[in-house]
Amino acid sequence: MTQYCECCKSRKPLVGFDRGLRNCADCQATGEVARKEAAEAQARQQAKEERKRLKRKKRRAPRQRTCPVCLQTLSISGDRLPPHVNGRRAPCDGSNQALPVARTDALDHRLPGSFETGGR
Residues that bind Zn ion (CB under 5 A): 5, 7-8, 24, 27, 67, 69-70, 92, 94
Who contacts 28 (Cβ-Cβ below 8 Å, separation ≥6)? 16, 18, 21
82: closest CA among 96, 63, 92? 96
**Of 10 and 46, which has the nearer Cβ to Zn ion?**
10
Query: Measured from the CB of residue 53, what is the shortest distance to Zn ion in angstroms?
Result: 34
Query: Measured from the CB of residue 85, what is the shortest distance to Zn ion in angstroms?
Result: 8
Query: Measured from the CB of residue 59, what is the shortest distance to Zn ion in angstroms?
Result: 24
